[in-house]
Amino acid sequence: MQIENIIEQKNLKLTSARRELLEILLKENKPICFEDIKDKLTMNKATFYRNILKFQSNDMINSFESNDKKRYYELQNSPHSHFICNICNTIECLKKIDNIELEGYKVMDVVFKGICKNCLEQSR
Amino acid sequence: MQIENIIEQKNLKLTSARRELLEILLKENKPICFEDIKDKLTMNKATFYRNILKFQSNDMINSFESNDKKRYYELQNSPHSHFICNICNTIECLKKIDNIELEGYKVMDVVFKGICKNCLEQSR
DNA sequence: TACTTAAATGCGACTTAATCGCAACTGTAG
DNA sequence: CTACAGTTGCGATTAAGTCGCATTTAAGTA
């Protein structure tokens, strides 16, 4: 999916800041936080946050907070869940789990917390 | 469960700040954030956060961030999941869901995001 | 190609969550 | 009653996120 198409689909202006931000998100292909990328950003941080908000309200990205108290952002290419390890704090993307449904609710995102495979094995 | 017992089980000192904080958490019986209770707190906010950390490392409370970008804390009396509505931002406690397991992981907490029952009905 | 304008940006100030170092204080074991 | 490790209050600090405003820019239109 090209950046031009993504933007056009949502009827947004394609600015250099937005191109930059989308390129970063596409390239990373995993949840990233502001701190991870602030040095790469040429745009002002206010612009960063305003575009994050814009993208979120257009369902282009989702975000969640990890154990390190930082907010992570990720492109919503392919919807999937995340697992955050309480020990090593690693964020793992899980394969889409489509059997998670709650009667009466529309579930759009799931974040699991607990102990990941690696840490479980090391505790044996 | 009495506060004295909770503290004693964990080999922590029972200070007035900790009694106050636990009383608040017990009384609320739902996830609360710093802002919700800061006016009630007689302790310093550094003390608040230090005790939150202490309680967390002793598995007495868990925390998660909601859509309002505030961190919510809750006593781990009875483990259960939470549903955060992307529309009304309400945090709901769900009944313990014990059929959620991930092969190879230890799941300790689940946060769902999506659209809650109320908002779903209103969108019809 | 130039014009127009709503939307986007940069900047600086601001708010607030969360943390830190340090001196003073306080539970609790002995 | 005492000693001391652990806890607290305080003030300063860091960093995420927001806001208002002047300036700039993308993109449609003539």
Identify whether residues B42 and B93 lie together within a single domain: no
Range of the domain at A97: 81-122
Test the A interface: residue of B81, B93, B99, B113 with most A CBs within 10 Å: B113
- Whether the Cβ atoms of residue A76 and residue A47 lie closer than 8 Å to each other: no
pLDDT of residue B98: 61
Identify whether residues B47 and B88 lie together within a single domain: no
Identify whether residues A62 and A99 lie together within a single domain: no
Identify whether residues A70 and A85 lie together within a single domain: no
- Among B64, B72, B79, B80, which residue's Cα sits nearest to residue B28? B72
Q: Which residue of A has its CA nearest to B116?
A: A105
Question: What is residue B7's DSSP assignment?
Answer: H
Test the B interface: residue of A105, A107, A109, A110 with most B CBs within 10 Å: A105
- Whether the Cβ atoms of residue B70 and residue B33 lie closer than 8 Å to each other: yes
* pLDDT at position A20 over 90: yes
Identify whether residues A44 and A96 lie together within a single domain: no
Q: For residue B108, which amino acid is it?
A: M
Q: In chain B, how many domains are there?
A: 2
Identify whether residues A69 and A12 lie together within a single domain: yes
Question: Which residues share a beta bridge with A83?
Answer: A92, A112
Identify whether residues B10 and B60 lie together within a single domain: yes
Over range A86-113, report the average pLDDT: 87
pLDDT of residue B77: 83
Over range A26-37, report the average pLDDT: 96
Q: Which of A64, A110, A117 sits opposite B110 (nearest CB)?
A: A110
Identify whether residues B70 and B88 lie together within a single domain: no
pLDDT of residue B2: 87
Task: Indicate the Cα dihedral angle A24, B85, B78, B110, nearest 10°.
Answer: -30
Identify whether residues B38 and B70 lie together within a single domain: yes
Interval A36-63: pLDDT, tens: 999 999 999 999 999 999 999 999 999 9
pLDDT tens per residue, chain B (124 residues)?
689 999 999 999 999 999 999 999 999 999 999 999 999 999 999 999 999 999 999 999 999 999 999 999 999 988 899 999 998 999 999 986 666 788 899 999 999 999 999 999 998 7
Dig out the tokens for A61 from the structure: 């990205």
Over range A5-19, report the average pLDDT: 96
Identify whether residues A67 and A13 lie together within a single domain: yes
Closest nucleotide (CA of B17 to C1')?
D8
Nearest C-alpha of chain A: how many angstroms from B12?
22
- Give the CATH number, domain containing residue A27: 1.10.10.10
